[in-house]
Amino acid sequence: MTDTAVVGSRSIRELSDAEFALRYRCDRITAEIIRNAMVMAVRHMTNALQRSSFSPIIRDQRDMACGIFEGAAENVDVVALAEGCMLHIATAPYNVREVVKEYGNENLRPGDVICCNDPYRGGNHILDVTLVRPVFVNGKPEFFTANRAHHNDMGGSNPGGWNGGSVSTIYQEGLRVGPTLLYADDRPVRSTFNLFLDNTRLPHNSLGDLRAQYGACVVGERLLHGLVEKYGLDVVKGAVEYVLDHGEQSMRAAIAAMPDGDFEFEDYLDDDGFETDKHIRYRCRAMIRGDRAELDFSGTERQCEGNISGVWSINASGAMIAFKMVVDPWTPLNAGAFRPVDLVFPAGSMTNCLPPTSHAASNVVSSERTASVVYGALAKAAPERAFAENLSSTGIVCWGGEDTRSGTPAPFVNMQLSFGSWGGTAASDGLPYCLSVVGNCSEIPVEILEIEYPFICLDKEFMIDTAGPGRFRGGPGITYTNRALVDCEVSLSCDRMRYGPWGLEGGGASLPQALYEIEEDDVPYRLGWSPVESLRPISGRFDEHGRADPRGGVYKTSKWSHRHLPAGTTLRITNAAGGGYGDPREREPWRVLEDVRNELVSREGARRNYGVVVKDDAWEVDEAATARLRVRLANDRASTLELDAWRDASWFETGSRG
């Protein structure tokens, strides 16, 4: 336990047993048992939802989260959360509170479930549907069980709702539903179900998923009733107060350990898909005072034309995820942890867009950059806790169409999440093969992908020489190559294709992402690369020869939709690696040797970026040559760290570029 800070006059740890019992109406052991029981209840909800949902995006990708809430109307607080998609987890408190407030406690009955997918009511985007169930005790709604899950389609003009570069208002995105009764007295409300099912391309999936979400709420309710039966309502409520105080005290202690001051950082999105020659600025000032903090995003650019501006709640989610991850990563998240931190988002900016602005892709774009500027600002306050930038773009390649493989044509939508890597830290290399920090979803296994959808996966592997160099390097970039077996309508919602994730404390940036089409059938794949001659650039930065060029070239937008791809088309996306932390010339040579052996860094890359010479004829560091090279590089600190962004056919034959 880390509850050493002071809330009011006394910390939890300082309370005597008698004082604790007086304050929380139970003893410490019971309070901890109830706290853990609630987290386990949420895990049961999560398992129930995952196992009973129909769509791979929930079942396999886990683009969902569950939670237990307590209180009434304006005071609804999240008490317990568990593993799931971080964006859902951190937005849930706002969304559930808005739903309960608008529907009204007094209008709820046992067996009811309210649904809502409105981003402007504390949500994410219309594809994320929230279900909220009151848990009645002695005739009063004392708790709520809730979950949020991504539905693969909510209507709109483009399959999957990722309308990059083509829509500007929420009206064009698809179905938007405010707080609405979905189950009454545990019976499905037909009109509400029809509202959803009549407006999606995937009604059978949505029906199964809504029922699974309902089931997860019921699982949580049963477990809560069990707790109340065992300990009594008063004790459970007392334990809830303890849980929230514990979360608050832990966060306050962590903030108090940061230095006081104002710390600023700015970063950019590539573009919005409309004005493709213009990047978009985000700015954050992190104010730390004692055990309080405020994050002010004044100076951020106005909302854009495209669908990447974020509503306040999605950006609150991105900001809080980043803040908690840097400042207090260990304590379970609940409403208490949010109490010491206020967020300031200028209305009409990218961080607090105004209705009716479209924002379906803000989940994977705006929230990412909001998190980026928080990481960057906090890195100035406490570089030892910071980490270089993660891939910071949950690139979405969304494929939709008609699956004709079985002879019975059926509509499909596949939202392919693209995994990359995280940045290096003061203590370790960046984690490889993750979704971005704000995402935290899983990936659909290739075998499932090929069963569920009309694709085959030709290649998926780490890319050599892509990680941001550093004393602790970033995790490597990852490439995916998928071929469509039927005609498709495809969209791309991505970022970090103009600028790669940044390094920290002298570490280098990693390569930006890129998307290509491969027109030939027989293309070599090796260590994540294919010959540049066989790639047709679609999105990213490229020179006049079509070669990726992270330092110049012409930028082709990373946000587009309504692109028709005939059966047989192959797309290859190269996902960003993590930035490096610290001067790479200080990286221990044995680590570089390991990277060379693991084919994450080439011998040439080891020399150029790390000043480490690996012998050509042995898996050994040439220590004398390394010492000489590092002296030379140390005298040339201005030399830039540089990653090769392409390989030509000769590299596949000789190991070096022609």
| Position 94 contacts other proteins (CB under 8 A) | yes
Interface residue with other proteins among 339, 369, 471, 559 (CB under 8 A) is 339
Distance in Å, CB of 354 to other proteins, minimum: 4
Binding mask 145-184 for other proteins (x = CB under 8 A): ---------------------------------xxxx--x
Q: Which residues, in sequence order, are CB contacts of 196 under 8 Å at separation 6+?
A: 129, 151, 175, 177, 203, 206, 210
Nearer to other proteins, 233 or 287 (CB): 287
Nearer to other proteins, 237 or 283 (CB): 283
Distance in Å, CB of 345 to other proteins, minimum: 6
Q: How many residues bind other proteins (CB under 8 A)?
A: 57
Secondary structure of 586-597 in HEC code, one letter for each residue:
HCCHHHHHHHHH
Which residue is associated with the tokens 């390649």? 397
Residues between 298 and 337 with contacts to other proteins, criterion CB under 8 A: 298-303, 305, 312, 316, 335
| Position 360 contacts other proteins (CB under 8 A) | no
Which helix or strand (DSSP H or E) is residue 229 part of?
A: helix 203-231
| Position 117 contacts other proteins (CB under 8 A) | no
Interface residue with other proteins among 97, 125, 359, 572 (CB under 8 A) is 97
Burial environment of residue 139 by CB neighbours within 10 A (0 to 12, 13 to 18, 19 or more):
exposed
Residues between 265 and 284 with contacts to other proteins, criterion CB under 8 A: 281, 283
Asked if 384 and 331 touch (Cβ cutoff 8 Å), the reply is no
Q: Which residues, in sequence order, are CB contacts of 590 under 8 Å at separation 6+?
A: 621
Binding mask 502-521 for other proteins (x = CB under 8 A): --------------------
| Position 257 contacts other proteins (CB under 8 A) | no
Interface residue with other proteins among 346, 383, 524, 546 (CB under 8 A) is 346
- Residues 193-222: b if buried by 16+ CB within 10 A, e if exposed: beebbebbbbbebbbbbbbbbbbbbbbbbe
| Position 107 contacts other proteins (CB under 8 A) | yes
Asked if 283 and 300 touch (Cβ cutoff 8 Å), the reply is yes
| Position 290 contacts other proteins (CB under 8 A) | yes
Q: How far apart are CA 315 and CA 347, in angstroms?
A: 12
Nearer to other proteins, 265 or 345 (CB): 345
- Which amino acid belongs to residue 5? A
| Position 195 contacts other proteins (CB under 8 A) | no
* Long-range contacts of residues 596-605, Cβ cutoff 8 Å, at least 24 apart: 599/462, 599/464, 599/527, 600/462, 600/464, 600/465, 600/467, 600/476, 601/464, 601/465, 601/467, 601/473, 602/464, 602/465, 604/465, 604/656, 605/464, 605/465, 605/469, 605/643, 605/644
Closest CA relative to residue 128, chosen from 151, 153, 96, 109: 151
Nearer to other proteins, 8 or 407 (CB): 8
| Position 390 contacts other proteins (CB under 8 A) | no
Distance in Å, CB of 13 to other proteins, minimum: 22
Q: How far apart are CA 19 and CA 24, in angstroms?
A: 8
Distance in Å, CB of 497 to other proteins, minimum: 23
Burial environment of residue 348 by CB neighbours within 10 A (0 to 12, 13 to 18, 19 or more):
middle
What's the length of the chain? 658
Residues between 577 and 606 with contacts to other proteins, criterion CB under 8 A: none
Nearer to other proteins, 121 or 246 (CB): 121
Which of these ranges, 345-353, 491-499, 519-527, 580-588, lies near other proteins under the rule CB under 8 A? 345-353
- Start-to-end CA span in the chain (Å): 58
Q: Which residues, in sequence order, are CB contacts of 22 under 8 Å at separation 6+?
A: none
Interface residue with other proteins among 140, 204, 230, 289 (CB under 8 A) is 289
Torsion of CA 551, 553, 557, 563, to 10 degrees: -130
Interface residue with other proteins among 37, 210, 314, 341 (CB under 8 A) is 341
| Position 264 contacts other proteins (CB under 8 A) | no
Q: How far apart are CA 256 and CA 94, in angstroms?
A: 26
| Position 256 contacts other proteins (CB under 8 A) | no
| Position 342 contacts other proteins (CB under 8 A) | yes
Q: What is the CA radius of gyration of the chain?
A: 25
Distance in Å, CB of 302 to other proteins, minimum: 5
Distance in Å, CB of 115 to other proteins, minimum: 10
Interface residue with other proteins among 347, 427, 631, 634 (CB under 8 A) is 347
Helix ranges, 505-648 (H):
589-597, 603-605, 623-634
Interface residue with other proteins among 124, 357, 436, 558 (CB under 8 A) is 357
| Position 381 contacts other proteins (CB under 8 A) | no
| Position 188 contacts other proteins (CB under 8 A) | no
Asked if 595 and 601 touch (Cβ cutoff 8 Å), the reply is yes
Distance in Å, CB of 289 to other proteins, minimum: 4
Distance in Å, CB of 237 to other proteins, minimum: 19
Q: How far apart are CA 50 and CA 61, in angstroms?
A: 9
Nearer to other proteins, 137 or 181 (CB): 181
Which helix or strand (DSSP H or E) is residue 651 part of?
A: helix 649-654
Binding mask 119-148 for other proteins (x = CB under 8 A): -xxx--------------------------
| Position 533 contacts other proteins (CB under 8 A) | no
Residues between 39 and 78 with contacts to other proteins, criterion CB under 8 A: 74-75, 77
Chain residues binding other proteins by CB under 8 A are 74-75, 77, 93-94, 97-98, 102-104, 107, 114, 120-122, 178-181, 184, 189, 281, 283, 287, 289-290, 292-294, 296, 298-303, 305, 312, 316, 335, 338-339, 341-349, 352-357
